[in-house]
Amino acid sequence: MMTRRHKRAFTLIEMLLVITIIAILVALLLPAIQQAREAARRVQCKNNLAQLSIALHNYQASFSCMPPGVVNETGPIRNVEEGYHISWLVQTLPMMDQGPLFQKIDFNNGAYSINNAAVRGIWISSLMCPSDHCLMTGAVSTTNYAGVTGGSDVPVGTDNNGLFFLNSSISIKQIRDGASNTIMVGERRGDDIQNTDLGWMSGTSGTLRNTGVTMNDSEDWGWQNARAAADDERDNDAGVEVDSPAPDFATGGFSSRHTGGFQVSLADGSVRFISANIGLEVYRNLGNREDGAMITEF
């Protein structure tokens, strides 16, 4: 007698069950994958800041001072395409293995000259944080790293208390609080001043920031509303009056895409992560090179 052979196959219910299990496993793995990617981006960002620190210390070794935050005849500096406005990043290019780019800059004219338009549009990968996907596009290339003008929310002039300001030439000896207690360069998000970022060649709010504005407080030029509430709170708590400059003169604070804070390069060359929960007074002191306060931990 002939026997029938039955072919085995998955039933619809078994198939749906397998698909469901796979979907659950993928959902559980995705956050871990994203965290691993962000950790790698954060390490790359830290490396960028470390390279900037080395370049700035090489500049210090060559000229016995830090590069000027912005070169201009008059101040305070306005965030408009007027003036010479050559930034500290331009001065640092030869120390960043960007000598050929530096040689193409026409220093007889300012950052906004038509002669410098081509250079101004060149993107430098080491000046961009890989976690930030919102850098502006177009003719002007921007950066995620800004020098510290000081610990107060004031316009960029010749008397700021940070390391980079108008026609500055700060030496290591002038960092009276100690190089390990003073921020040199910090992160800023590429979209925090939309349609107003004048690029890495310009010594304005695109390359200069202060610690007088709380972290992530300057998004989309919404400084007035965010800072007005913060200033009222500070006035009530500390009894100190804080006046924010007009947007044309404001540099704003630091910001980041990293979770929980942002990364900075200290004046001693080390790179640290600043928590978003840092105390306001300590944060301000870190941007001031000569406030006299002893910072033991941050």
pLDDT class of 33 with cuts at 50, 70, 90: low
Give the alpha-carbon dihedral of 284, 289, 292, 297, to 10 degrees: 60
Q: Are 219 and 255 in contact (CB under 8 A)?
A: yes
pLDDT class of 70 with cuts at 50, 70, 90: very high
User: Is the pLDDT reported for residue 137 higher than 60?
Assistant: no
**Residue 215 has what DSSP assignment?**
T
- Predicted pLDDT of residue 240: 47
User: Of 5-19, 53-67, 96-110, 113-127, which range is least confident?
Assistant: 5-19
Compute the distance between CA of residue 259 and CA of residue 252 in angstroms, rounded to an integer: 20
- Calculate the alpha carbon distances from 135 to 25, 68, 178 in Å: 34, 25, 33
User: Of 29-38, 113-122, 181-190, 191-200, which range is least confident?
Assistant: 29-38
- Predicted pLDDT of residue 7: 59
The token pair at 211 is 């610690």
- Predicted pLDDT of residue 6: 58
Burial class (CB in 10 A: 0-12, 13-18, 19+), 167: middle
- Calculate the alpha carbon distances from 94 to 55, 85, 114 in Å: 8, 18, 22
Compute the distance between CA of residue 24 and CA of residue 190 in angstroms, rounded to an integer: 35
Q: Give the residue extent of every domain in the chain.
A: 27-287
Average pLDDT over residues 278-291: 91
pTM here is 0.81
pLDDT class of 158 with cuts at 50, 70, 90: very high
Look over the chain and give the mean of its residue pLDDT values, rounded to a whole number: 83
Q: Which helix (H) or strand (E) holds 253?
A: none
Residue written as token pair 């659950």: 24
Query: Tens digits of per-residue pLDDT, 213-266?
Result: 888 765 444 444 444 444 444 444 444 445 667 778 888 899 988 888 899 999
Top pLDDT among 88 and 25 is at 88
pLDDT class of 270 with cuts at 50, 70, 90: very high
The token pair at 44 is 């790359």
- Predicted pLDDT of residue 10: 66
Average pLDDT over residues 91-117: 93
- Number of Cβ within 10 Å of residue 297's Cβ equals 4
Top pLDDT among 13 and 106 is at 106
The maximal CA–CA distance of the chain, rounded, in angstroms, is: 107
Q: Are 202 and 143 in contact (CB under 8 A)?
A: no
Q: Are 202 and 112 in contact (CB under 8 A)?
A: yes
Average pLDDT over residues 79-99: 94
Compute the distance between CA of residue 119 and CA of residue 222 in angstroms, rounded to an integer: 30
Query: Tens digits of per-residue pLDDT, 163-216?
Result: 999 999 999 999 998 899 999 999 998 877 655 789 999 999 999 999 998 887
Top pLDDT among 7 and 41 is at 41
User: Is the pLDDT reported for residue 287 higher than 60?
Assistant: yes
